[in-house]
């Protein structure tokens, strides 16, 4: 629920966020991210925002957004301000893409995935786009076909120091290729929406799962193109099953059991290397205790098997 005592960040203060996608219900991995981002924000006297990343209706589960917020409340989380919904921010994303068009940084791409992937090499996150439409003359573009929009990426290293993982870098041209910001089917790409929103909401610290580490150089590059500040990043260890797969909807992660709040919060705080918590009356007390005992530098780097 929205907190009654907003932890208003001073100018230059800490603003963190938790940004679930309502493609399924919260599971143990989501709880780890929620607890860590919350504890890091509150331990630094910061604000903690919740943003619903509901940009991909075909992948979403009916009722998941409401269920997620209810689950956060039952686990004792209090967020600052109103929940932001990406589905209500299309105009803002259009404006952001327009800014990049004005700067000449993006181009329309008419390739079908099947066509370009057939000859593409693999990068660090799927195939590397070969840049076919980057060099096409406008007159060569098929009329009547709706394009995707891609951003040109530089042949240079984008490096940053992660609060948990340490130094990380990618050469976007070699490792990723020009990436999509607006899909041909009209859906906004995660990379554009997340950077636009983090900038607009003044997010200063991002604590999220290591599955998103591979996206961070793209996001830093977009921030630079948009003259937006780069937040501090900390990428949490993934919680995995016995096969080493990240818990997710695909690996059939069980939804959080709302009858087991204390036990699940204790489990997650143990994964985050917090000391054992004293007995408490309610989940809010466990979260408050996690805030008091929080040390980002104690969080392990390696994936954790929960089975």
Distance CA 291, CA 274 (A): 10
Burial (0-12, 13-18, 19+ Cβ within 10 Å), 187: middle
Distance CA 180, CA 166 (A): 27
Distance CA 174, CA 262 (A): 46
Burial (0-12, 13-18, 19+ Cβ within 10 Å), 110: middle
Taking the complex as a whole, how short is the minimal distance between the CB of residue 20 and ligand GLU, in angstroms? 5
- Residue whose CB is less far from ligand GLU, 21 or 71: 21
Query: Of 14, 15, 21, 225, which lies in the binding site for ligand GLU, with binding defined by CB under 6 A?
Result: 21
User: By CB under 6 A, is residue 19 in contact with ligand GLU?
Assistant: yes
User: By CB under 6 A, is residue 208 in contact with ligand GLU?
Assistant: yes
Distance CA 257, CA 226 (A): 41
For the segment 224-243, give every residue that binds ligand GLU (CB under 6 A): none
Taking the complex as a whole, how short is the minimal distance between the CB of residue 182 and ligand GLU, in angstroms? 18
Residue 109 assigned ligand-binding role: yes
Taking the complex as a whole, how short is the minimal distance between the CB of residue 77 and ligand GLU, in angstroms? 16
Q: What distance separates the 2 farthest-apart alpha carbons in the chain?
A: 70
Encoding tokens for residue 179?
Answer: 């990436």
Q: How many helices (H) and strands (E) does the chain have?
A: 9, 12
Residue 114 assigned ligand-binding role: no
Q: Which stretch binds ligand GLU (CB under 6 A): 17-25, 120-128, 150-158, 224-232?
A: 17-25
- Residue whose CB is less far from ligand GLU, 59 or 145: 59
- Residue whose CB is less far from ligand GLU, 20 or 177: 20
For the segment 36-65, give every residue that binds ligand GLU (CB under 6 A): 53
Bridge-based pairing of strands 166-171 and 232-236 is: unpaired
Residue 88 assigned ligand-binding role: no
**What sign for the dihedral angle of Cα 23, 27, 31, 37?**
negative
With CB under 6 A as the rule, give the number of residues binding ligand GLU. 7
Residues annotated as binding site?
Answer: 17-21, 53, 109, 111, 129, 133, 190, 208, 249
- Site residues (vs ligand GLU, CB under 6 A): 19-21, 53, 194, 208, 212
């Amino acid at each position: 629920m929205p907190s009654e005592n907003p932890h208003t960040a001073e100018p230059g203060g800490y603003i963190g966020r938790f940004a679930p996608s309502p493609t399924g219900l919260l599971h143990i991995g989501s709880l780890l991210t929620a607890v860590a981002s919350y504890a890091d924000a509150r331990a630094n006297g910061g604000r903690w925002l919740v943003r619903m990343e509901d940009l991909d209706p075909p992948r979403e589960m009916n009722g998941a957004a409401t269920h997620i917020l209810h689950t956060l409340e039952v686990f004792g989380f209090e967020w600052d301000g109103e929940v932001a919904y990406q589905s209500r921010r299309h105009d803002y994303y259009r404006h952001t893409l327009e800014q990049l068009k004005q700067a000449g940084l993006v181009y329309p791409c008419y390739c079908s995935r099947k066509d370009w992937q057939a000859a593409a090499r693999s990068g660090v996150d799927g195939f590397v786009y070969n840049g076919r439409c980057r060099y096409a003359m406008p007159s060569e573009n098929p009329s009547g076909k709706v394009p995707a929009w891609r951003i040109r990426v530089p042949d240079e290293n984008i490096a940053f120091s992660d609060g948990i993982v340490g130094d990380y870098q990618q050469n976007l041209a070699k490792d990723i290729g020009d990436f999509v910001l607006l899909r041909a089917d009209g859906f906004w790409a995660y990379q554009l929406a997340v950077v636009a929103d983090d900038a607009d909401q003044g997010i200063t610290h991002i604590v999220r799962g290591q599955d998103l580490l591979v996206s961070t150089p793209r996001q830093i590059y977009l921030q630079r193109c948009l003259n937006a500040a780069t937040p501090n990043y900390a990428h949490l260890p993934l919680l995995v099953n016995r096969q080493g797969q990240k818990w997710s909807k695909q690996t059939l992660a069980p939804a959080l059991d709302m009858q087991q709040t204390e036990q699940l919060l204790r489990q997650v705080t143990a994964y985050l290397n917090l000391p054992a918590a004293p007995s408490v009356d309610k989940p809010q007390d466990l979260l408050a205790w996690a805030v008091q005992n929080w040390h980002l530098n104690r969080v392990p780097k390696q994936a954790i098997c929960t089975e």
